[in-house]
Amino acid sequence: MTLLGSNTSPEQLKQMSIAELEALASEIRSAIIDQVSGSGGHLAPNLGVVELTIAMHRVFDFKHDRLLFDVGHQCYPHKLLTGRYEQFKNLRTRQGMSGFPEPAESPYDLFRVGHAGTGISTAVGMARGDLINKESYEPDSNPDGRRVVSLIGDASIVNGLAMEGLNHAGLLNRQMLIILNDNGMSISKPQGAMAQYFDRVRVSHTYSDFKKGARELLKAVPGGSLLQQAYHRMGEMTKAAINEDSWFEKFGLLTVGPIDGHDLPTLIEFLAEARDLDRPMILHVKTIKGKGLDIAEQDATRFHSPKAFTVERDESLGCKVRMPSSGRSFTAAFSDAMTAVMARDERVVSATAAMPDGTGITQTLEKFPDRSFDAGICESHGMDMLAGMAKTGLRPFFAVYSTFLQRAFDQAFQEVSLQGLGVRLCLDRAGLVGEDGAVHHGFCDVSILRTLPDAVIMAVIDEASLIRCLEFMRTWDESLSSVRYPRDSVSDIFGDAPVYELGKARLLTEEFADLDANRPDVAVLSFGTPAVNASIAIDSLSTEYKVAHYDARFAKPIDSQLVRDLLSRDIPVLTLEDHSIVGGLGTCVLECAQEFGLDASRVVRHGIPDHWILQDSRADQLKEVGLDPQGIARMIRHAADPVVHQPFTPANRHKTRGSTPNATEQMH
């Protein structure tokens, strides 16, 4: 009998026997493994929460109640149980479903969630909103009111925002359940004293450990009088599992567990008792990341979010996993280059925030353990820690996804830039990231960092330029510096790269070294890897236009001499960037032109448009925004066209020769 299908709904779970629910859990795991092995996606995190998700939907009514995810990559079972089975076959594509909670897909999803630490705070907000609206659950006055559940896991409980949420949650005088999915992992092994605390809790406590002294504990902790009242509303299982030693009690939060997150009967009983509690509570659930697939259980980091893979089983050699290679990645190139930098300069230190594999820091952690650090899911702390190191004379490099840099902007401002310290930001996954979609695009790092006085902002086009750029950053101690590169393979079409000189672009088409002797029809300024597709586009137009191509290298300081040389000769300029059209390289060029009193009417900006780009392959996303070779060729024709040079409006934007409705372009 097949239990999982397009008609599967939470209502059905309430009618199923435990045996049927366990069979359903097995079907969900099989569906996730089959799909992710073919398409890629978040595997191990979702395999670990199957029973927990079933139990939550069995006990609560999330059409009415509130379910807030933290670290939204644990949502696949939730989506399969809420009517999205058919969309699952096109996971992380525009035709299918997002790999993260997505309100546009279903009323069961309340927030788009892709960054850690947010779920408790948004849950507190909804809990307070329901109180104000008189819609919240109250056991006596409003038993049909809304309940609130926050699911937090993958070690994001250590994030500073999660701490702030907990601090406020303890003040709620109403029901709120925080489920701590403790799998002993984040994306890699969790870091810090709190992780060690949870390790001790997992191995040292059983249900019987919590029986003795529960009532006395409630009298002693902050908020104890409220918790003592709550104690009388609990069932016997919950009373027996109160954690006397939990530091969550200091927040005024009753803490229960840890309990087995794969034992459906136990989960259902505990959740049923927690559902009717009129005080905030933490339910500590112990799960196994990658549960049900031995290779994922054994290597949860590798199978956190793998590419498509095949499993080959051999009786003599055991189990092997094959993943198709898409070429050498920028992450791998950075890893080798960073290791080389650290080998030749003992003042260099490296750090990441819970992403050693994803950012390439794993190699430096292994080779230089005394000078390499994983700060956990704590980007703000990581930035400030490196500021402290820079103050002692060290040369810190912070490898972080562009999308996660945003979480540490205040520290980049206050503790780094304002102090004039040389912290170096290596921004992986810059630009469009592909299947993870809008929650993970690195589209605004230039626009936020360029507001910081004296900041140096760079991009690289290949491995050779990355190596040169890191060497430049190594000796740049005067201010914050950053380099951006995408989740993509490195190209080898440009050959060796010259050294980086502050604020100087690189000419890629040597025949235009003398602009007076050989005047181009248009000049293309590429910032980062759009240079690769631009080169293809330029080659395709070689019989139509003479195109000078520059690797801009710096958005700040911009190569002002180059801008003046081009615009003073009335040479049209097209800027290309895998970054938002708002505040990126194109804006830097326009500001430079204005500053020097130059006519910027021939400047055309092209980048990521000012709207959200949803999940799909990176290649399809680049095509959507016109940063593929064909789209860039259209923009080159448009920039070189001497006929129409006016601001785009909804009425004329598709009429100009070479324009495209998917491209973002603007002229001044």
Distance CA 201, CA 285 (A): 11
State the catalytic residue, choosing from 58, 92, 147, 289. 289
Reduced to 3 DSSP states, what percent helix, strand and coil does the chain have, rounded to the nearest 5? 40, 15, 45
Of the candidates 40, 361, 360, 45, the residue with the CA atom closest to the CA atom of residue 186: 45
Annotate 19-36 with three-state secondary structure.
Answer: HHHHHHHHHHHHHHHHHH
Start-end of H helices in 60-192: 76-80, 85-88, 119-132, 160-169
Residue 506 identity: R
Of the candidates 479, 457, 480, the residue with the CA atom closest to the CA atom of residue 469: 457
| Long-range pairs, 203-208, Cβ under 8 A, ≥24 | 205/243, 205/245, 205/258, 207/237, 207/240, 207/241, 207/259, 208/240
How far, in Å, are 98, 397, 496, 641 from residue 309 at the CA level? 20, 32, 34, 47
Distance CA 271, CA 59 (A): 7
Of the candidates 265, 309, 195, 208, the residue with the CA atom closest to the CA atom of residue 16: 265
DSSP three-state, residue 392:
coil
Estimate to the nearest angstrom the gap between the alpha carbon of 167 and the chain centroid.
Answer: 25
Start-end of H helices in 323-462: 330-344, 356-359, 362-367, 379-391, 402-405, 409-411, 445-449
State the catalytic residue, choosing from 51, 102, 249, 379. 379
**195: how many CB neighbours lie within 10 A of its CB?**
18
- Tallying the residues shown for the chain, one arrives at 668
Distance CA 38, CA 558 (A): 44
Distance CA 639, CA 602 (A): 7
- Exposure string for 96-131, b = 16+ CB within 10 A, e = fewer: bbbbbbbeebbebbbbbbbbbbbbbbbbbebbbebb
DSSP, res 184: S
Distance CA 259, CA 282 (A): 12
289 catalytic residue (yes or no): yes
239 catalytic residue (yes or no): no
C-alpha gyration radius of the chain: 27
Distance CA 613, CA 627 (A): 13
Rounded to 10 degrees, the C-alpha dihedral 200/201/206/210 comes to 130
| DSSP element (H, E) containing 292 | none
Distance CA 35, CA 46 (A): 12
Catalytic positions = 289, 379, 407
